[in-house]
Every structure is written in structure tokens, then in C-alpha cells.
């Protein structure tokens, strides 16, 4: 009996889905424990912004909370509000800070705003003057030129006698811009600047290292590390082999396997011309699903710089993308796969344990972060529960 003989009621939605995503929560928690060990004496938090890097803030947050994480970082207050029921006793830091109209969300959900500018500081002072004490965090820019008080502004705040007595920051943080390169001189420059500020804010916990910073060693760890991409199996430190377990496996159903003759062209623009008689697998995934057009095998400017496009994995073999990735469909060359080993209805791995996330991202001229956070809405998800 084939899949087409089964009724809709008999089919598991995951087994029937054109696109499916498996999230291994055991691998996620194992990665967190690995990073906690690497963090030494520092506590280890977890970054769950962008819906836990595209993998689901509720399920990932629950798994990490039960594994022992008690400090979480999100980008927006709405993310913190979503996370709160799944991490009831945790501190949830909101990296974008607080703005007028968000006070109720912060206080009702016990969220900690990360204040990053004089404007946010002034607003927060007015909020706590009216509502009373509530924890906050301070972000200091030590060379990134992104968010944060300048070092001078932060040091001036230490001695500001006009600040309310209820102003009670619980964490000082900064962010390294080149921590994935251990030899970058800027890492040391930023470290020394952060040390200067953290010494001035005596008695307040400090956090400098995200994923890659953890690999720089103990002097970068301070009191709390805050890994993100490494939790989800992505490459953090660019100069070493990725030690993290893959967490996400993305697969697409093969809708058709077709034969094509040498000399024929493939996909939009006829940009790929076949050099041999070929078998082509048409998979139900495209750039609408976050499988980037830049992963195309031909017909895009990036192929002039990086000759090879992405590969998939099916029937135990790597198979290349041919022609352009389209909105809903991508074509893989399966000529070298035994003809009986791949057929319509099979699934091809887009990234996962056999197709490393960073390798696929590199083929598209990007990074694993973008592939994960760009996952579309059409994936049927399955979570593999951790052993807690």
C-alpha cells in the first residue's frame, strides 16, 4: 500500500507533511550543559529571541528551564510575555529595553528591561518613581557601536546622586563584536573597557560573553554567559570545529522524480544546462520557506564567487541543487543515486545531522542564524523530548 492509498485520517500529520522540521530537545539541553561546563564558575543563561532562533520559544524554553537555566534573554517584551509561563521562576531580560506603553507588560510578567540609552534611562526613572522598585539591566557599548550607553555615560551614572533610590540594576552587560575570531585584538580592547565599567558598578553581576565569547576563556565569562546560536547547534567560534550537537533537521518531500536529457535546461532562466542524461528530484521547498534563493546551483550572482550551491541528503548520498531555487520548489540532481533508492514521497534532508547547518548557509553566502530564523510557516514540527 502506498501513501496515496491511505486516508487523511490514517496519516500522521508529520509523516504526510510536504515540509517537516524535527527539533531534538535532548540535543538542545546537552548543548546547554556543554556550554555551562565551558563557562566554568559563571552561570549560564540562554538566548531565546526570534522564537528561540526559529525553533519554538515555548518548547525550547521549557526544556532549557527544566535543564536548569534560570536566566533568559529575549529581544522584545512580547517574547518575554510568551516565555514567562514556561519559565516561572526565571529572570527574563528584554534586550530592546522598555518604551512608553509597555509598562504593564513588564510589571505583570516580571520582565527585566535592558536599558541601553540615556532616553531609556530617563523613562525608566520616571516609571519606577511612579510604580516603585523593579529590577533592570544596563547595556554598555564597549566598541560594537550598536546598542548601549557609552563607557563614559555608564561611569557617570555610577556617581549620579540624583538617581532614585529605587533604581536597582541587577546586571551589567556588553557584547563582543569579533568573539568568533579568537585572535582579534578588539576582543582584548572590549574586555578591558568592560572590566573598567564592571569594577565601577561594584556588587552588580556582569555578562560579556555570548556563544563565541564562551570559547575565549574564563576571563571573558564574568558572572553570567548568555549563549544563543551554539545552543541550537550552530557554529559559534569560527576557528574551531563546531562541537555542538545539531538540534534542527529540516526535510522536504520529493514531489516528483523526472528524467531529463543532456543539453536540456533546468529551472527559471534555463540557467543550468545538463551535461548528461539526468534524474531530477523536485522537492517541496523554496525561498518562501527560508530555503534561500542564494542556495541555487546556477543563475544567481553569488555563483560567480562561490561556484557550488547547496546540497541535500537523500538515500545516504549528498545531491546538489541544480538551477534556481524557486518560491515553493527546489530541484536536486539525483542521477548518482540508485534509481530504486529515491522516489516520489521520500524526504530529502535540507540541513541536519548529514547536511551541517553552517555548510548549507555558507553555500548561500550567509550564516546559520539566518537559515534558522528564516524558517517559514509551512513546516510541520516534531519535538523530541529530552531525558530530564
The residues carrying an active-site annotation are 49, 268
DSSP 335: T
Q: CB under 8 Å to 47, separation ≥6 — which residues?
A: 53, 72, 73, 74, 210, 226, 227, 228, 231
Q: How far is CA 240 from CA 69, 180, 237, in A?
A: 26, 9, 6
Q: CB under 8 Å to 96, separation ≥6 — which residues?
A: 75, 76, 77, 114
Joined together, the cell numbers standing for residue 2 give: 502506498
In degrees and rounded to multiples of 5, residue 346 shows phi and psi of -70, 165
Three-state secondary structure of 44-86: ECEECHHHHHCCCHHHHHHHHHHHCCCEEEECCHHHHHHHHHH
Grid look-up 538542545 returns: 28
Q: Tell me if 127 sits within 8 A of 103, measured CB to CB.
A: yes
Amino acid at each position: 500500500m502506498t501513501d496515496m492509498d491511505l486516508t487523511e485520517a490514517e496519516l500522521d500529520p508529520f509523516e504526510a507533511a510536504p515540509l517537516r522540521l524535527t527539533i531534538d530537545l535532548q540535543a538542545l539541553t546537552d548543548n546547554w550543559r556543554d556550554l555551562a561546563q565551558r563557562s566554568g564558575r559563571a552561570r549560564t543563561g540562554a538566548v531565546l529571541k526570534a522564537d528561540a532562533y526559529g525553533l519554538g520559544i515555548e518548547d525550547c524554553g521549557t526544556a532549557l528551564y527544566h535543564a536548569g537555566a534560570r536566566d533568559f534573554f529575549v529581544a522584545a517584551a512580547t517574547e518575554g510575555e510568551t516565555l514567562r509561563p514556561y519559565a516561572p521562576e526565571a529572570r527574563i531580560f528584554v534586550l530592546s529595553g522598555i518604551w512608553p506603553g509597555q509598562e504593564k507588560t513588564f510589571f505583570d510578567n516580571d520582565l527585566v528591561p535592558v536599558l541601553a540609552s540615556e532616553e531609556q534611562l530617563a523613562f525608566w526613572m520616571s516609571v519606577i518613581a511612579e510604580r516603585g522598585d523593579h529590577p533592570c539591566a544596563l547595556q554598555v557599548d564597549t566598541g560594537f557601536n550598536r546598542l548601549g550607553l557609552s563607557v563614559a555615560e555608564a561611569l557617570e551614572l555610577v556617581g549620579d546622586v540624583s538617581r532614585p533610590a529605587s533604581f536597582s540594576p541587577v546586571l551589567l552587560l556588553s557584547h563582543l563584536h569579533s568573539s568568533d575570531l579568537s585572535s582579534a585584538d578588539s576582543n582584548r580592547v572590549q574586555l578591558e573597557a568592560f572590566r573598567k565599567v564592571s569594577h565601577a558598578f561594584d556588587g552588580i553581576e556582569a555578562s560579556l560573553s555570548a556563544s563565541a565569547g564562551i570559547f575565549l576563556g574564563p576571563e571573558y565569562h564574568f558572572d553570567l554567559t548568555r549563549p544563543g546560536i551554539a545552543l541550537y547547534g550552530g557554529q559559534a567560534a569560527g576557528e574551531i570545529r563546531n562541537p555542538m550537537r545539531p538540534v534542527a533537521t529540516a526535510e522536504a518531500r520529493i514531489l516528483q522524480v523526472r528524467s531529463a536529457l543532456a543539453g536540456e535546461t533546468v529551472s527559471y532562466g534555463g540557467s543550468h544546462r545538463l551535461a548528461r542524461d539526468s534524474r531530477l528530484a523536485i522537492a517541496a521547498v523554496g525561498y518562501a520557506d527560508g530555503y534561500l534563493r542564494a542556495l541555487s546551483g546556477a543563475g544567481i550572482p553569488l555563483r560567480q564567487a562561490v561556484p557550488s550551491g547547496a546540497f541535500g541528503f537523500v538515500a545516504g548520498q549528498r545531491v546538489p541543487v541544480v538551477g534556481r531555487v524557486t518560491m515553493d520548489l527546489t530541484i536536486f540532481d539525483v542521477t548518482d543515486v540508485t534509481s530504486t533508492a529515491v522516489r516520489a514521497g521520500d524526504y530529502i534532508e535540507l540541513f541536519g545531522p548529514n547536511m551541517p547547518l553552517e555548510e548549507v548557509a555558507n553555500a548561500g553566502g550567509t550564516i546559520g542564524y539566518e537559515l534558522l530564523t528564516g524558517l517559514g510557516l509551512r513546516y510541520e514540527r516534531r519535538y523530541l523530548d529530552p531525558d530530564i
